[in-house]
């Protein structure tokens, strides 16, 4: 995984290539521009992860309050979901692997597929994804511990030596709320189903369902982490649509009226 400096440099190089190619190879130039945006967003994510990871604050207290709120809302305990896989080594290892590896992998494949197969929809999805991801980053300035750091839950990744938090990556231990994993999976699930007409579009919602199950079964997120992430996604989608509608109203396209021709003067 790239560091924030490497992602920043990569984005800058891609931006320069975009400037050089935009008058000659517009297709390649556009791809470089979009890739640069993704690289810069990844760099921002890395920096914010470092900032919030050093500000634990009342992360444990907030997590305990979330557990109480979920109980009041009659949401099932995350431990009940963990019990479905605990004792099944292969399932636990698979869940840990899915959590650690499919987050960015699936999103990357989805964005490339969307860009080359449904380019007319790509700007919309890219904008909504960027806005909602930044919205999640803002919320993460208020650290929340995941269930795995509280008594009564099992840190499955630590138990099986698969924890990304011990692998040298810039990953925030107290960035449970909201769940960017669930956010990304919701973007893939919703837009893959909405944009495509292929039977393969079912893979999008399936990835979303698996992600929700995995983040809870591995005790990396609370139910409310995912619910808040989806709420942010919906809000950003509405925000984009509202701003776009307002812009179109204030900047209507100029329509050239047809010139009337007097038939009596046509010889």
pLDDT digits 0-9 by tens, 182-235: 999 999 999 999 999 999 999 999 999 999 999 999 999 999 999 999 999 999
Helical H segments across 54-197, by residue range: 59-72, 78-82, 89-117, 122-139, 156-159, 180-195
pLDDT score at 137: 85
Q: Identify the three-state secondary structure at position 175.
A: strand
The pLDDT value recorded for residue 56 is 55
pLDDT above 60 (res 136): yes
In percent, the amount of the chain with pLDDT more than 70 equals: 88
Average pLDDT over residues 162-180: 75
Measured distance CA(24)–CA(187) in Å, rounded = 33
Reply yes or no on domain 57-244 having CATH 1.20.144.
yes
Mean pLDDT value across residues 136-151: 89
Band (248; pLDDT cuts 50, 70, 90): confident
Is the pTM higher than 0.95? The answer reads no
Predicted confidence at residue 266, as pLDDT, reads: 37
Mean pLDDT of the chain: 86
For the cut 90, the answer to whether the pLDDT of residue 83 exceeds it is yes
Q: What is the pLDDT of residues 44-58, one digit of tens each?
A: 877 776 666 555 568
Task: For residue 211, give the nearest of 95, 57, 128, 122 by alpha carbon.
Answer: 95
């Amino acid at each position: 995984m790239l560091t924030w400096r490497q992602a920043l440099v990569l984005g800058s190089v891609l931006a320069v290539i975009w400037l050089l190619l935009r008058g000659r190879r517009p297709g390649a130039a556009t791809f470089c521009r979009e890739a640069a945006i993704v690289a810069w967003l990844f760099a921002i994510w890395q920096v914010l992860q470092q900032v919030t990871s050093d500000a634990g604050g009342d992360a444990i207290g907030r997590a305990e309050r979330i557990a109480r709120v979920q109980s009041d809302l009659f949401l099932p305990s995350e431990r009940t979901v963990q019990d479905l896989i605990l004792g099944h080594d292969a399932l636990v290892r698979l869940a840990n692997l899915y959590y650690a590896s499919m987050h960015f992998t699936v999103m990357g494949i989805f964005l490339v597929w969307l860009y080359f197969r449904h380019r007319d929809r790509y700007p919309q999805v890219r904008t909504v994804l960027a806005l909602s991801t930044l919205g999640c980053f803002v919320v993460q300035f208020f650290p929340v511990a995941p269930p795995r750091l509280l008594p009564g839950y099992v840190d499955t990744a630590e138990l099986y030596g698969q924890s990304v938090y011990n692998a040298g990556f810039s990953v925030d231990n107290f960035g449970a709320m909201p769940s960017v994993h669930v956010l990304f999976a919701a973007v893939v699930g919703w837009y893959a189903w909405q944009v495509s007409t292929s039977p393969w579009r079912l893979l999008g919602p399936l990835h979303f369902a698996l992600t929700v199950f995995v983040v809870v079964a591995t005790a990396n997120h609370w139910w409310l982490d995912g619910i808040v992430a989806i709420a942010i996604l919906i809000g950003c989608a509405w925000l984009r649509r509202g701003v776009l509608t307002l812009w179109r109203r204030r900047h209507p396209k100029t329509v050239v009226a047809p010139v009337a021709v007097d038939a009596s003067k046509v010889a």
